[in-house]
């Protein structure tokens, strides 16, 4: 990996936050939608980027009779911190707003390099309930879709954009 994706200090803070059982639960609510996309587009292999506790894979296994092969990447989870290889589909659910702002372009470029066919990304645009150990809000980037979408469109072709009460999700394909 040429460009840094996370600072060591922030990695340690994220590891601590992941000790909270209620941290990293957003993927569960998006699992039915991901299952629908995977089924309709016949996805066989998926990388869960920022996988946290692996809840997306668990939910897909519960919801689907034949879920795709799931791979996990999360720099704050030692077992899943190895640089992943590109996959047919990459999901990144409730992760990007947590990225250190000065490293966001590196992370988006990393995602672009990992998506072989499809990307499913969600972004929460408001403040998080959780606070980091240093007192900052856990959502380091709180910007609306007008700020986010150009960054995605520089790297991907948009298939679908859906606005949510506080955020959005997009389905993209490799540019």
List the one residue out of 102, 94, 167, 97 whose CA is nearest residue 139.
97
Mean pLDDT of 73-77: 95
List the one residue out of 56, 100, 4 whose CA is nearest residue 71.
56
Mean pLDDT of 82-103: 97
Instruction: Please tell me the least confidently modeled range out of 6-20, 64-78, 149-163.
Output: 6-20
Quote the CA–CA distance of 86 and 98 in Å, as a whole number: 22
Q: State the pLDDT at residue 19.
A: 82
- pLDDT tens, position by position, 7-59: 999 999 998 888 877 777 789 999 999 999 999 999 999 999 999 999 999 99
Give the mean pLDDT of the chain: 95
Domains and CATH numbers, the chain: 8-18+26-158 (3.40.50.150)
Quote the CA–CA distance of 165 and 29 in Å, as a whole number: 14
pLDDT at residue 168 greater than cutoff 90: yes
Mean pLDDT of 54-68: 96
pLDDT at residue 2 greater than cutoff 80: no
Secondary structure letter of residue 134 according to DSSP: T
Tokens read off for 7: 């600072």
Place of tokens 């039915």: 32
pTM over 0.85: yes
């Amino acid at each position: 990996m040429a460009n840094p994706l996370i600072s060591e200090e922030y990695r340690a803070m994220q590891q601590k936050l992941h000790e909270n059982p209620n941290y990293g639960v957003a993927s569960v609510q998006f699992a039915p939608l991901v299952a629908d996309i995977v089924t309709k587009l016949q996805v066989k292999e998926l990388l869960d980027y920022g996988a946290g506790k692996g809840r997306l894979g668990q939910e897909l296994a519960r919801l689907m009779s034949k879920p795709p092969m799931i791979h996990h990447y999360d720099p704050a989870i030692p077992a899943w911190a190895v640089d992943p290889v590109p996959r047919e589909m990459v999901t990144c659910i409730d992760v990007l707003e947590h990225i250190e702002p000065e490293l966001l372009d590196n992370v988006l470029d990393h995602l672009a390099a990992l998506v072989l066919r499809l990307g499913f990304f969600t972004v929460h645009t408001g403040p998080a309930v959780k606070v980091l150990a240093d007192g900052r809000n856990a959502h380091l980037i709180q910007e609306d879709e007008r700020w986010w979408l150009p960054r995605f469109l520089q790297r991907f072709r948009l298939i679908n954009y859906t606005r949510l009460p506080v955020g959005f999700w997009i389905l993209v394909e490799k540019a």
